[in-house]
A and B are shown apart, each in its own frame.
Chain A
């Protein structure tokens, strides 16, 4: 907290406008109130109590489990469905298949994020009254509340449910691993849908620094008769075969190696050949602002877009990608899986430069620039205490020297007027967007962005 205050004081000396000051104060207040890093509520499926119509005989009475449908096994064939959906567009109707992301809670607490092609039946349905500022899940079951039975005075709290435990604090390690794996296994398919269905561009068409697959030369192929390197074991085997065929080796007689005939064709050599190298070909840095101001919708938008991006790249690189997740407020921190990346929230200030510096540091230290295509996607609400980008822009320029693409997503929050966020302003002023047009992209998401808009944004970021 003190470090935040200190930094604030320093900023103040440099001079900040009243609006900026107000916003910083807001974040400081949030930090004081909320404290340290924590997960925020479920974004996908707020765990809701089963209602009247959710309970059915087969499940309750016969103890059947809801049939587990492996996300793709139940489908006739994904291709068929996609074809079907593409046909809709041709007939002049919007597509129907969407990319559902559901959290499947499991018994040991490691909720899995599963991505399935899904659809909703759109009807005129009653919605509950939503008021702005209402937390997701609050006032569930309408103004009327839920049912209940048992003891307790009116007003008495009868139970608590943690919104989200910080990983590691309770359930121990391994929780996140499963989750991120679950995303992986579905990401490839999702990427395929994205590419085919939403006509996202294929990477290969674009000029980029390195080829997708690289070749190394290795002594792996075998050749009989001549070559660079004699394969003794195979050669001996061939010699024995030939001599058995010639009748020179018989079951009951002892073998005299000097007696064996050796044909030139029996010599097996290894020769130099071109090999595909299946090393990871791309590294993606997902960078996300997790400061207080990001709470709610901006986080959801950014993270959802990052899931889609991740999936698309997974497909493009045929699983040959590595991902790194970096979260930042005033300081940056690397987390080891998507799950944590997705769920963590902190109430602190915002300094974009810290995160960019960290990316640069990782790239430099691990010499990633030499062997990999490097993608950096940054999601933020556009808030930055470094209001003129004095620290951020140099880091960004450094980044642009090695990166294949830097995509910045600004999900606007309620506090900022459209198109007025600091990050957007200093980026535009710097001229980098025009200068390095093929390397740096910016996508600004409004409050009402839906999935189609997110995918549109991806096209913007990667095309």
Chain B
């Protein structure tokens, strides 16, 4: 890997100026590298982070089982990574005009990384340096503990998609606006009102008494009042303190955290080093979480800006046709399939226009006349402002569920397509399944990243109990055993998993798939992993036995 030429760097700096003028904000420094095919081979298993820790499985070609399972997302070929300074990768033979386009795209990403609130957790540190120190840490542990380090990495990786990303984010949010309730507020707002002797009359009297104190002595009245109260209710202060602690809420632990805190196996002295490894895996996973949850937004935002800024860049006039060709390839809507660049960019344009004409208002929504709706324009010109706020506050799921409406679907002739086997002609047929916005929205939403939600508890006999929340999807059954084996190792005792699976009835194999899809029957399954042996039990059977 080497840095791009001074010439290219100068172009990049020019792009930065223009991007800033347009309203994007990002830090001054950035690093641009040329990557060769060989570099890519090395970088892609490390998710483009050059300093990520080593792990032997990275040397094996990892079949992501792309064809078989949905939603096993990974970003092995990202152009820019969210570090401080951001690092971006380029082909060595890009012509200048193409570099300009890519630079703008990269700047769009940088702006997004550094302003979207879902990335807040990554703002305070540079991930490359953290990854480097993690890498050294793991290398050191490996030299001490041998290959057992790799088992801990493996088993932690097996559950790293269950990290409590939103919990962490929520925690951060709470801490940032930690205006603590004062004792006085607590006294009036909570304490008095919760007392059994509480009446409105006595409450008003008490307020009046407080006001009297303040009126009598402007400087010390409030404090005096509190002292009196404290004498009258000696328990007040303790209760206040307790409520302060509860305010933060009992922290909800994700599976990795839970194991780190509660596992007796890990708390043993000779196993304590495993905690460090697990923490590395957990924080690494947390770092990637916002990225995977903002794919459409992020790519849409970057595409919006590379298009806008490229076309207004005076340095590369004459290359409009070249640009159009590349741009069309990246941002055209596919006849069948989903393209995050195309969808995100169009949504941003759409929202900008809506906001410009004031269509995101009640007045507009109230209109039912088609012609009036079309002509509606309150000349608000809030478009830019609005899309910038979307860029700051939204993640993919919110973006999609809030803004895809019938107008948008009609505008871009979007539809949900289906695929069926035509046995006579032995072909797969693609057909237009629905043009309803609701269906389109649900289709996109269902293809978004969504790891299973699992709650954790323990039983009296120290069995770890995992409960997979039913969301209409089963778990990949082949993976349940190996994953649970890893958890068992880290937990140091038996593990249970409750999940739901489709009931397969023998003899109905030839049923038409359309009907079958509608008449799916679910049953609750209990998996137990004890001493590396997996046991599967249907809860219905358990119930009938009872």
Is A131 a contact of B476 with CB atoms below 8 Å? no
Query: Which chain B residues lie closer than 8 Å to A123 at the CB level?
Result: 157-161, 479, 483
Contact A57-B80, Cβ < 8 Å, known A49-B337, A140-B419, A148-B334: yes
With A50-B338, A56-B79 given, name 15 new contacts (CB 8 A).
A52-B447, A102-B63, A119-B60, A120-B479, A123-B158, A132-B505, A133-B513, A133-B516, A141-B447, A144-B416, A145-B439, A147-B444, A148-B414, A154-B434, A156-B432
Complex interface residues of chain A between 145 and 187 (CB less than 8 A to chain B): 145-164
Q: Which of B61, B72, B76 contacts A125 (CB 8 A)?
A: B72
Q: Which of A54, A127, A138, A142 contacts B446 (CB 8 A)?
A: A142
Query: Which chain B residues lie closer than 8 Å to A251 at the CB level?
Result: none
Is A278 close to B, CB under 8 A? no
Is B452 a contact of A64 with CB atoms below 8 Å? no
Contact A100-B449, Cβ < 8 Å, known A51-B70, A58-B77, A146-B416: no
Query: Which chain B residues lie closer than 8 Å to A13 at the CB level?
Result: none
Is B454 close to A, CB under 8 A? yes
Is B430 a contact of A157 with CB atoms below 8 Å? yes
30 contacts between A and B (CB under 8 A): A50-B337, A53-B295, A55-B340, A67-B40, A81-B56, A93-B532, A94-B482, A117-B60, A118-B62, A123-B159, A124-B483, A126-B450, A129-B472, A130-B474, A130-B502, A131-B520, A132-B508, A138-B419, A140-B419, A142-B447, A144-B416, A144-B439, A145-B418, A147-B417, A147-B440, A149-B333, A150-B333, A158-B430, A160-B427, A450-B478
Contact A91-B426, Cβ < 8 Å, known A62-B91, A124-B159, A127-B69: no
The segment from A68-76, A330-338, A371-379, A398-406 that touches chain B is: A68-76
Is A205 close to B, CB under 8 A? no
Is B443 close to A, CB under 8 A? yes
Is B231 close to A, CB under 8 A? no
- Indicate the member of A48, A66, A124, A450 with the most B CB atoms within 10 Å: A124
Is A366 close to B, CB under 8 A? no
Task: Report the bound CA distance from A132 to B513 in whole Å.
Answer: 8
Is B65 close to A, CB under 8 A? yes
Contact A144-B447, Cβ < 8 Å, known A133-B510, A157-B429: yes
Is A147 a contact of B483 with CB atoms below 8 Å? no
Is A147 a contact of B414 with CB atoms below 8 Å? yes
Is A125 a contact of B71 with CB atoms below 8 Å? yes
Is B295 a contact of A144 with CB atoms below 8 Å? no
Query: Which chain B residues lie closer than 8 Å to A141 at the CB level?
Result: 70, 419, 443, 447
Q: Which of B295, B433, B477 contacts A127 (CB 8 A)?
A: B477
Q: Output the nearest chain A residue to B507 by Cβ-Cβ distance.
A: A414
Complex interface residues of chain B between 9 and 65 (CB less than 8 A to chain A): 35, 37-38, 40-41, 44, 56-57, 59-65
Min CB distance A178 to B, Å, is 21
Is B516 a contact of A134 with CB atoms below 8 Å? yes
Query: Which chain A residues lie closer than 8 Å to B161 at the CB level?
Result: 123-125
Min CB distance B468 to A, Å, is 7
Is B212 close to A, CB under 8 A? no
Q: Output the nearest chain B residue to A40 by Cβ-Cβ distance.
A: B426
Task: Report the bound CA distance from A45 to B91 in whole Å.
Answer: 30
Is B416 a contact of A74 with CB atoms below 8 Å? no
Contact A155-B432, Cβ < 8 Å, known A45-B67, A100-B61, A138-B419: yes
Min CB distance B502 to A, Å, is 6
Chain A interface extent, by class: 35 or more
Is A148 a contact of B330 with CB atoms below 8 Å? no
A-B pairs under 8 A by CB, number: 349
Query: Which chain A residues lie closer than 8 Å to B127 at the CB level?
Result: none
Query: Which chain B residues lie closer than 8 Å to A144 at the CB level?
Result: 416, 439, 442-443, 446-447
Query: Which chain B residues lie closer than 8 Å to A68 at the CB level?
Result: 37
Task: Report the bound CA distance from A414 to B507 in whole Å.
Answer: 8
Min CB distance A419 to B, Å, is 16
Contact A158-B335, Cβ < 8 Å, known A51-B70, A58-B40, A147-B443: yes
Q: Output the nearest chain A residue to B106 by Cβ-Cβ distance.
A: A57
Task: Report the bound CA distance from A130 to B431 in whole Å.
Answer: 21
Q: Which of A118, A158, A164 contacts B431 (CB 8 A)?
A: A158
Contact A122-B67, Cβ < 8 Å, known A81-B60, A139-B419: no
Task: Report the bound CA distance from A33 to B478 in whole Å.
Answer: 35
Task: Report the bound CA distance from A159 to B425 in whole Å.
Answer: 13
- Indicate the member of B91, B412, B447 with the most A CB atoms within 10 Å: B447
Is B40 a contact of A64 with CB atoms below 8 Å? yes
Contact A137-B419, Cβ < 8 Å, known A123-B161, A125-B475: yes
Task: Report the bound CA distance from A373 to B71 in whole Å.
Answer: 48
Query: Which chain B residues lie closer than 8 Å to A140 at the CB level?
Result: 419
Min CB distance A35 to B, Å, is 9
Task: Report the bound CA distance from A64 to B98 in whole Å.
Answer: 13
Q: Which of B40, B67, B158, B425 contacts A48 (CB 8 A)?
A: B67
Query: Which chain A residues lie closer than 8 Å to B229 at the CB level?
Result: none
Q: Which of B76, B417, B516 contacts A132 (CB 8 A)?
A: B516
Is B419 a contact of A133 with CB atoms below 8 Å? no
Is A60 close to B, CB under 8 A? yes
Is A453 close to B, CB under 8 A? no
Is A432 close to B, CB under 8 A? no
Contact A121-B157, Cβ < 8 Å, known A102-B63, A132-B509, A160-B425: yes
